[in-house]
Each structure stands twice: as structure tokens, then as C-alpha cells.
Amino acid sequence: MKTEQELKDIVKTRYAKIAEQGKTENAASCCGATTPSNKVYNIMMDDYSETDGYVSDADLGLGCGLPTQFAHISKGDTVIDLGSGAGNDCFVARHETGVEGKVIGIDFTPIMIEKARINAEKLGYNNVEFREGDIDNMPVSNDVADVIVSNCVLNLVPNKPKVINEIFRVLKPGGHFSISDIVLVGNLPEALREDAEMYAGCVAGAIQKTDYMQHISDAGFTNITIQKEKAITIPDDILIKYLSQEKINEFNSGDIGIFSITVYAEKPGTKKDKPKVKLADLSNESCCSTDSNCC
């Protein structure tokens, strides 16, 4: 049985390599970590391409949902993205929060942070920043975020209750999260559960759906809702690396389910009104503060 730190090291090493892979290769595998399937192009991720704020250079094809679509982000919000990768969800969130708000991406892989910062600089987004750190020990103060999003990342963290408690700590009273993740119904075959590649591939690190939801409740969240759920099918040409054909048939016909779920929950409390932004504060992105004729 590997320790929490050993599992984190596996993920960090693997995701440093994934950062250099193409979107097509990542999308055709289990979160970019396994050998791509020849049968299915898009195993887990949803299509972002029609989403406002989408930046193709920041899309590595590693997600398993569209949490920003369900996150109810408002203008002026402070949003934190857990496991921000090359910045895609941060840039989508930035479209929603506007220049009045702030977006913070957290990732523990240095090369991902570097790619995300380069993307933000190219776009000229001064209110999007990326911080290197573990999401179960966030480099963020208490009660900072109005909204937290994450896309297929919590399953990579060995200690799920710890990261969920961190989410509670960092959210403002009355704040909420929308998180897409992989969960299980039934037990995975031992060969899949013990393989490091499948752990980094968002499968072996997933926990039972009932346990996942219970951890959220235990942390103190309210109004817990599953916003979206879809079944995930792992193609046979990936499974054959781990299971015999007999075991594959048994796996596919049994009561084991792998699901992507997007979960919404709120931290109890009442939100304070956001400070109004003066026109002059937006002068770097609006001509109105410098030219009365342009508006």
C-alpha cells in the first residue's frame, strides 16, 4: 500500500509528462495517463469549444465535466480553480467574473503553472493568477473565494476529506462550489486499483459515490446537489493491459459503474455585498475612463 506522499509523487511526475502531450492523446486516454484508445476519441472530457471564454491553447483534454457551466459565477466574484492545469477553467471563469473579479488557479505541477501563466500573459489577463501548491493545503487564506471549481482533480488526492475541508475553509460564508469528479459504484478489480497509471488516470483514485457525497456533508456543506452525472466507459483496448478477456467481460457486464459527477454545495452563512467597482478602476481594459467620446 503506497503512502499519500508516494501517490502524490506519482501524480506529479505523470502530470509533468501529460503537460507536454497533445489534447487528442489526453482525451483518448484516462485523463492523459494511460495509453490512448484506438476506439474512443473522448473517454472522459466534455466539449468546451462552444463555451464563452474558452482558450484552445489552455485545453489539455484532461477534464471530466464542465463545472464552470454550473458554477453560478457572478460579475466581481473571486473564483478558485483546483488543479488548474494550463488554465482553461480559469479563463472560462474569468469570462463570467469579468474584469471586476479575480480568478486563482492552484496546481502542484510546476510545468502546468508555467504553461498557465504564459497563456494568461498572452491574453493580457491581469486578474488571473496561478499559485503552486497542494489543494489539500491551499496557499490561500480563510474565507477568500465566492466560488470554487475543479475538473477531475479531487480523485487524484489521496485524502479526500482533507481537501474537502480545505474547500470549506477557503470559501466565504455563503460561498459555493461546483466540482466535476470521477466516482465509483461497486469495487474496481484489484489490478486496476493497484496500478499507478490508473491512479494518475483518474480511475484507481476514485472512491465510492456514497462516500464522496458523505465527505461533503461531513465537512459542513449544505444544499448538496448532483448537477450532472454521466457514465464513463473504459475501452477494452485499455483494459486489456490490466485484465484478461474473461475479467474484462465480467467487468463490463457486472454491477461496477464509473461515473463523472458534477456536485454543487454551499458553505453556510450570508454573503457580504461586493464593493462597487469605480469606472477608473477598469481603465486598463476600458476606454471610457480616458475618452468620453468612446462610450
Can you give the pLDDT at residue 34? 53
Looking at the DSSP bridge assignments, the partners of residue 208 are 184
Q: What digits encode the pLDDT tens for the residues 211-240?
A: 999 999 999 999 999 999 998 888 788 888
- In whole angstroms, give the CA distance from residue 40 to residue 29: 9
Can you give the pLDDT at residue 167? 98
**Between residues 191 and 139, the one the model is more confident about:** 139
Q: What digits encode the pLDDT tens for the residues 64-88?
A: 788 999 999 999 999 999 999 889 9
- In whole angstroms, give the CA distance from residue 269 to residue 244: 52
Query: E-assigned strands of the chain?
Result: 78-82, 102-107, 128-132, 145-151, 171-185, 222-232, 257-266
The residue ranges of every structural domain in the chain are 4-234+252-266
**Number of Cβ atoms within 10 Å of the Cβ of 75:** 12
State the fold for domain 4-234+252-266: Rossmann fold (3.40.50)
DSSP symbols for 36-63 = PPSS-S-SSPPP-TTSTT--GGG--S--
Q: Burial, 292: exposed, middle or buried (Cβ in 10 Å; 0-12, 13-18, 19+)?
A: exposed
For the chain, helix (H) and strand (E) counts, in that order, are: 10, 7
Mean pLDDT score of the chain, rounded to an integer?
A: 81
Q: What digits encode the pLDDT tens for the residues 256-286?
A: 888 999 999 999 998 776 554 443 333 344 3
- In whole angstroms, give the CA distance from residue 273 to residue 113: 32
**Number of Cβ atoms within 10 Å of the Cβ of 101:** 22
DSSP annotation of 182 reads E
Q: What digits encode the pLDDT tens for the residues 174-209?
A: 999 999 998 999 988 888 877 766 666 667 788 999
- In whole angstroms, give the CA distance from residue 265 to residue 176: 6
* 44-50: average pLDDT: 62
Task: Give the global pTM.
Answer: 0.82
| Residue/partner pairs of 44-52 with CB below 8 Å, 24 or more apart | 44/152, 44/182, 44/202, 44/232, 44/260, 45/152, 48/88, 48/92, 51/92, 52/92, 52/95, 52/96
